[in-house]
Amino acid sequence: METTNIDITKKNQNHYNKRYAAVSIKGIEQKLKNLEAFLADATTTDTSWVAMFRNHFKNQLSGKKVLELGCGDCTLSAVMAGLGAAVTANDIADKSGEIIAKINEAALTDIPITFIQGDFLKQEFPPGSFDLVVGKAFVHHLTHEQEAAFYQKIAYLLKPEGEVRFVEPAVNSKLLDGLRWMVPVPGRPSSLQFKKFAIWKAADPHPDRSNSSSHYQKMGLQYFQEVEIIPIGFIERFNRLFPNSKTNRAFRRKAYRWEARFPQWVQRYFAKAQTMVFRKPIAAKTEISGIS
C-alpha cells in the first residue's frame, strides 16, 4: 500500500511539473487586474469555479486564513489572495512554487502567498491554523488511504467554526462512466482503443478509486460532523454539442440554472462534479498518525 501512495504521488509530480512549465504569469496578472470581470465569467461558465464559488464563497474570504491543497497553476490561490485572504498553498509540483514565487516577486497580491513544497502530511502546524481549507480537483488524485490521512490532518488544522470546500469529479452512475470513457477526448483515447488506452492509463496520474458522492460523504463523516455534497453538471456536461465558444458559454450559463430545478437524486445520479463542504471537525479524530 505504501508503494502505491509513493508511486501515485511521484506520477502526479512528474505529470504536473511538465504541465505547469508553460503557465504564464501574465495570464494570472490579467485575471487579477480584471478580477470582478474574471469572476463574473468563471463563476457562471466554468464548472469548477461555479462549484467552488457557490453559496457566497467570495464573501467569506476577506481577512481569512486559507489553505489551498493541490494549488496547481495557482490561479485560485492568487484570486483568493486578491479577494483579501491570507493564502497558504501546497502542491507536490515544484513548478507551482515557482509560479507563487513569481506572483510574490511581482507583488500581484497585497498579501504575499505562502507556498509549502512537498508532502503536506509531514508539515507541522498548530491546531486551528486555518478558517478555510480548499482544493479544486485535488482529492481525486489521492489514494483512499491518503485521502483519510489528509482529512484527519485538515480536521486538526481547521478552526472549530471553519469550513472545508473541495470540488471533485462525481461518478455516481457506472453506465454513464463507462460511456464517458468510450468517447475519446483530446489527449485521451477511447477505452475501446485497447492498446492506446493502456499506454495512456499507465501514465495517467489518477489512482483507481471511488469518486462517488456516497464515498465522499462517508469519508467526510468520519472526520467532520457536517458534510454537504452539492452535485453539478448533469446538463452542462452536454456543452460539447455547442463547439462555438460564445454559444457554448451561453449554454453553460443556462444549464447550471436548469439543473437546479431537477430533483436532487437526478442531479446527483447524473452529476459531472460535486462541491463537498465539511464543517465541525470531530475533535476525537484529530490525533495525527503519520502516512507516507
Ligand X SMILES: C[S@@+](CC[C@H](N)C(=O)[O-])C[C@H]1O[C@@H](n2cnc3c(N)ncnc32)[C@H](O)[C@@H]1O
Judged by CB under 6 A, does residue 90 bind ligand X? yes
What residue number has its CB nearest to ligand X? 72
> Would you call 202 exposed, middle or buried from its count of C-beta atoms within 10 A (0-12, 13-18, 19+)?
exposed
Query: Which residues, 6+ apart, have CB-to-CB distance to 31 below 8 Å?
Result: 38, 75, 78, 79
Q: Least Å distance between CB 94 and ligand X?
A: 10
Cell reading at 73: 497553476
Q: Look up residue 216 and give its three cell numbers.
A: 465522499
Site string for ligand X, 54-83 (x = CB under 6 A): ---------------xxxxx----------
Compute the distance between CA of residue 267 and CA of residue 269 in angstroms, rounded to an integer: 6
Per-residue binder mask for ligand X (CB under 6 A), 234-263, x = binder: ------------------------------
Select 33 or 122, whichever has its Cβ closest to ligand X: 122
Of the pair 93, 273, the CB lying nearest ligand X is at 93
- Taking CB under 6 A as the criterion, the residue among 39, 111, 137, 176 binding ligand X is 137
CB of 97 to ligand X, least distance (A): 11
120 binds ligand X (CB under 6 A): yes
281 belongs to the binding site for ligand X (CB under 6 A)? no
- Using CB under 6 A as the binding rule, whether residue 274 contacts ligand X is answered as no
Among 57, 130, 138, 151, binds ligand X (CB under 6 A): 138
Asked if 91 interacts with ligand X (CB under 6 A), we say yes
x/- binding map, residues 7-36, to ligand X, per CB under 6 A? --x--x---x--------------------
Q: Residues in the site for ligand X, rule: CB under 6 A? A: 9, 12, 16, 48, 69-73, 90-93, 120, 136-138, 141-142
